[in-house]
Amino acid sequence: MSSEEPKGAALPVHAKDDPMVDAENAPSKSALKKAAKEAEKAAKKAAAKEKEAAQRAQQAAAADEDKAVDNYGSITKAKETGVIHLKKLNETHADQEITVITRIHNSRVQSAKLAFLMLRQQGETIQAVMAAAGDDVSKQMIKWATAIPVNSFVRVTGLVKKPDPAIASASISNLELNVKKIYEISRAMEMLPMQVKDCERPPPESNEEGQSDATGPIVTLKTRLDNRVIDFQTDVNQAIFTISSAVEVLFTDYMVKAGSRKFNTAKFVGAATEGGAGVFEVTNYFGKSAYLAQSPQFYKQMLIAGDCESVFEIGPVFRAENSNTHRHLTEFTGLDFEMVFTNHYHEVLTFAENLIVFIITTLQKSYAAEIATVQKFYPRAGDFRIKDNKALRLNYADGIRLLKEAGVDTSEQDRFETDLSTAMEKQLGKIIREKYDTDFYVLDEFPMAVRPFYTKRHPTDPNLSNSYDFFMRGEEIMSGAQRINDAGELEQSMRAKGVDPTAEGFQDYVNAFRQGCRPHAGGGLGLNRIVQFFLGLDNVRQATPFPRDPQRLRP
């Protein structure tokens, strides 16, 4: 506050200290008289000066009195009021006084009497003007407000105005706020590990640390994830997680409307079902070991065997696989469903196709703004295309044929022994996009050899199975099938795949089919992958709030 502080009145010069009076160098009488007169004159002059200075001081004090002292400071001074969310603000609020609770995105002092704050709420920004005029805003208030560290939370009351020209740097460019009150709710530290504005630039493709470009520091995915709480605050992350939530809720709505019930099956299982490989082990389970379920597959089928007819689950899936890729996590959110059918498993396959079409088209209709926000930052993938709003269903053999026609060597796949590689899947995605103008398609009738033991064999071609995968932009988002519903057939299939049906981890599962079970089919979707591939994100971690991989357990 140094340059603006009142300086106090100048000290009056007192007669006794007048340097003209010198007793030791004694003067003549006339000189004394003259001196006395001069002294009197000087005293009068000094008194006048003193009076003038006192008046000046009084004036100065009056001018610097902070009439806005109640309009800023700690939140404890604020009166309780309603507040409006920045996303709800529109031109109908012009010339109205409103209150918002926002972060300070940045602040700029123009002069002692004028400053601009950029306010931010969930990625939305608006310019707030602080002008010292009238009794609402003082210079002291401006000084105080512009000293608040960036990212702190404030409660701001102001008059909504339509700026001319529009404020290009704010997301709400057609409105601004003339501040009348501002209170600090929660203070950010002066130096943040990273800035939200730096995070609003997309990460570099290579994710190498230490890169930089012309626009400012590059923030790698690692740094973002290390500081996830700040990273969440960007408009792009707010949009990604709005869409992620919507996918879950739309999935739930669709299942419930179809008469399905939501279950939460056990994540602790008593025995590892795949010989321990790929399974996380909890060693302190009351004197024994427990294992974490790699999928709710067995449990949802047991619910079907228990007459639940149609079930779904949303929950964590744990995979102890040392896969360090753009689409693998050790923990992800599975959207699983399983249901009986009347005549043919294609009833379930069609249901699942319609489910995905419903989710995609609803997202495109109801979340266009969020999709646009994400695309601004991750533009490479482009719009998600779904022709005629329906799924394209091909047989696996058709997929192989399309690859072959494009010159891909599919000799391994031709022998029904090997699944498509990730590279082949991506290439097939491109071929299908060109040929069929769609980013969502289904492959049906996979070879039996590449599917798990519980998959139902094709009724006429023993090399094939009643199973399907779903793809978005050439990447798998779901795997599903008709399941074996007879214990004897299941045991035979297990033995054929080298699995012992009498092992502890399989007994309850196999026994479930000894007491009668309807034919059923289902599938398992990865929420994180749906969000990743629908939005065209580079990395599944961007679609995961707190991702977990072989290297990452924090935050």
In the complex, the smallest distance separating the C-beta of residue 120 from a copy of itself, rounded to whole angstroms, is: 8
Question: Is 514 a catalytic site residue?
Answer: no
Give the three-state DSSP class for 393: strand
Stretch that binds a copy of itself, among 47-55, 184-192, 410-418, 425-433 (CB under 8 A): 184-192
Answer for the pair 525, 334: CB distance below 8 angstroms, yes or no: yes
Q: In what order do the strands lie in the sheet with 440-444?
A: 261-262, 310-318, 331-340, 520-526, 475-483, 467-472, 440-444, 392-395
Binding mask 33-72 for a copy of itself (x = CB under 8 A): ----------------------------------------
CA gap 109, 146 in Å, rounded = 7
- The burial class, CB within 10 Å (0-12 / 13-18 / 19+), for 335 is buried
Q: Which of 93, 155, 328, 548 is catalytic?
A: 328
Binding residue count for a copy of itself, defined by CB under 8 A? 98
In the complex, the smallest distance separating the C-beta of residue 162 from a copy of itself, rounded to whole angstroms, is: 26
Binding residues for a copy of itself restricted to 252-271, rule: CB under 8 A = 252, 256, 261-270
In the complex, the smallest distance separating the C-beta of residue 189 from a copy of itself, rounded to whole angstroms, is: 5
CA gap 230, 426 in Å, rounded = 33
Is 508 a binding residue for a copy of itself by CB under 8 A? The answer is: yes
Longest dimension (CA), the chain: 142
Is 454 a binding residue for a copy of itself by CB under 8 A? The answer is: no
Binding residues for a copy of itself restricted to 147-166, rule: CB under 8 A = 151-153
Question: Is 529 a catalytic site residue?
Answer: yes
Is 527 a binding residue for a copy of itself by CB under 8 A? The answer is: yes
Q: Which of 176, 370, 445, 476 is catalytic?
A: 476
In the complex, the smallest distance separating the C-beta of residue 245 from a copy of itself, rounded to whole angstroms, is: 4
CA gap 436, 459 in Å, rounded = 29
Question: Among candidates 338, 266, 276, which has minimal Cα distance to 303?
Answer: 338
Give the three-state DSSP class for 66: coil
Question: Among candidates 242, 204, 252, which has minimal Cα distance to 355?
Answer: 252
Phi-psi region of 389 (alpha: psi -120 to 50; beta: other; left: phi over 0): left
Is 491 a binding residue for a copy of itself by CB under 8 A? The answer is: no
Is 486 a binding residue for a copy of itself by CB under 8 A? The answer is: yes
Binding residues for a copy of itself restricted to 276-315, rule: CB under 8 A = 280-286, 288, 290, 292, 299, 302-303, 305-309, 314-315
> ∠ CA(489), CA(490), CA(495), 5° rounding?
100
* Residue 312 vs 441, nearer CB to a copy of itself: 312
* Residue 55 vs 81, nearer CB to a copy of itself: 81
Is 117 a binding residue for a copy of itself by CB under 8 A? The answer is: no
Prior bond of 165 cis (ω within 30°) = yes
Stretch that binds a copy of itself, among 56-64, 400-408, 533-541, 545-553 (CB under 8 A): 545-553
Structure token digits, residue 304: 């079907």
> Which positions are catalytic?
319, 321, 327-328, 476, 479, 529
